[in-house]
């Protein structure tokens, strides 16, 4: 679609097909129709001849800047209207349109362990998955540096085994750790001592979870994509257990020797 923007192009299609699209004439029209046609399996042909003639570029540098700024705004607005979070450009670069550290995540409250996007027949937005990966890498690096013994838990462990990644429809990352090692991590120790959340220098937000005896690290204050940290301890018989269970089927006690 990037190759079509600004190019002279002729679109030949049935009127009823054009107006069957959810956004038939959203600007930039060529990009809009191309995206919607791709989803419907339509083929588009970019004619090689310049017809109609290409419009002349604006004469002054200011007019060119203004025209380019307007075109970029139209493009961003179109991506937002379509709910597109990530463009992969022809040269392989990524252009992001989704959530960041300074914005809320792309979905609302999770009800009955089901995020909003799943109810719409979609998987986790790619920007949200990126934020989860960044948060997980940061948290695991902090735990590693502090000497906290930790491991992947629940659905995150399943994703690692099956895919080598986060499950494409998941909305958080679960990490288990030894409860006795919590004081080794300065951020966890600060939260445990005061009960108040802590923001580290990289902008990640550490807090005690409201749902029970575990910790949560958010991508930022604004963006609540997070890693859950579950403190486990040994009980009689060498079994690892914890004090809070949220009813996930994969969330079970296990022999310490598995670690």
Q: What is the rounded CA–CA span in Å between residue 218 and residue 205?
A: 5
Q: What is the rounded CA–CA span in Å between residue 78 and residue 58?
A: 23
Q: Is residue 151 part of a domain?
A: yes
Greatest mean pLDDT among 61-70, 160-169, 239-248: 160-169
- What integer is the mean pLDDT of 141-162? 96
**Same structural domain for residues 80 and 132?**
no
* Overall number of domains in the chain: 2
Three-class SS state of 241: strand
Task: Read off the CATH number of the domain in which 193 is found.
Answer: 3.30.460
- What integer is the mean pLDDT of 8-32? 81
Q: Is residue 179 part of a domain?
A: yes
**Same structural domain for residues 146 and 78?**
no
**Same structural domain for residues 147 and 202?**
yes
**Same structural domain for residues 48 and 142?**
no
**Same structural domain for residues 152 and 243?**
yes
Q: Which two tokens stand for residue 200?
A: 């580290």
Nearest Cα to Cα of residue 144 among 181, 172, 180, 174: 181
Position 46 pLDDT exceeds 70? no
Q: Is residue 94 part of a domain?
A: no
Q: Is residue 6 part of a domain?
A: no
Q: How confident is the model at residue 8 (pLDDT cuts 50, 70, 90)?
A: low
Q: Which two tokens stand for residue 29?
A: 């029209």
Q: How much is the pTM?
A: 0.81
Q: Which residue has the tokens 């986790």?
A: 124
Q: What is the rounded CA–CA span in Å between residue 181 and residue 185?
A: 8
pLDDT tens digits, one per residue of 171-204: 999 999 999 999 999 999 999 999 999 999 999 9
Q: Is residue 100 part of a domain?
A: no
Q: Is residue 99 part of a domain?
A: no
Q: What is the rounded CA–CA span in Å between residue 215 and residue 197?
A: 10
**Same structural domain for residues 29 and 135?**
no
Position 241 pLDDT exceeds 60? yes
Q: At what angle do helices 61-82 and 29-40 cross, to 10 degrees?
A: 30
**Side-chain-side CA neighbours of residue 63 (13 Å):** 5
217 within 8 A of 247, measured Cβ to Cβ:
no
Determine how β-strand 239-241 pairs with β-strand 172-178: unpaired
**Same structural domain for residues 68 and 163?**
no
Three-class SS state of 20: coil
**Same structural domain for residues 58 and 178?**
no
C-alpha dihedral sign at 181, 187, 192, 194: positive
- What integer is the mean pLDDT of 49-69? 73
CA-to-CA separations, 221 to 73, 197, 200, 216, in angstroms, rounded: 27, 10, 11, 12
Three-class SS state of 52: coil
Position 214 pLDDT exceeds 50? yes
**Same structural domain for residues 75 and 172?**
no
Q: Is residue 9 part of a domain?
A: no
Please tell me the predicted confidence (pLDDT) of residue 41.
86
> Where in the sequence is the domain holding 140, given as residue range(s)?
126-258
Answer with the residue of higher pLDDT: 15 or 139. 139
Q: What is the rounded CA–CA span in Å between residue 240 and residue 179?
A: 10
Q: Is residue 130 part of a domain?
A: yes
């Amino acid at each position: 679609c990037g190759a079509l923007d600004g190019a002279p192009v002729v679109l030949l299609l049935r009127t009823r097909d054009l107006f069957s699209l959810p956004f038939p004439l959203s600007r930039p029209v060529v990009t809009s129709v191309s995206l919607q046609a791709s989803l419907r399996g339509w083929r588009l042909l970019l004619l090689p001849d310049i017809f109609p003639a290409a419009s002349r570029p604006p004469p002054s540098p200011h007019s060119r800047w203004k025209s380019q700024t307007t075109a970029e705004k139209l493009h961003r607005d179109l991506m937002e209207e379509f709910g597109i979070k990530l463009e992969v450009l022809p040269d392989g670069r990524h252009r992001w349109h989704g959530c960041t550290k300074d914005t809320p995540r792309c979905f609302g409250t999770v009800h009955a362990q089901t995020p909003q996007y799943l109810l719409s027949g979609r998987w986790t937005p790619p920007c949200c998955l990126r934020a989860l990966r960044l948060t997980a890498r940061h948290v695991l690096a902090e735990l590693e540096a502090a000497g906290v013994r930790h491991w992947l838990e629940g659905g995150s462990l399943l994703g690692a085994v099956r895919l080598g990644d986060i499950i494409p429809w998941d909305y958080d990352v679960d990490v288990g750790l030894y409860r006795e090692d919590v004081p080794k991590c300065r951020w966890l120790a600060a939260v445990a001592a005061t009960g108040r959340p802590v923001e580290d220098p990289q902008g990640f937000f550490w807090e005690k979870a409201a749902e029970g005896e575990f910790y949560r690290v958010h991508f930022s204050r604004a963006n609540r994509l997070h890693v859950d940290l579950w403190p486990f301890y040994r009980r009689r018989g060498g079994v690892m257990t914890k004090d809070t269970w949220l009813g996930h089927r994969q969330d079970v006690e296990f022999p310490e020797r598995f670690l």
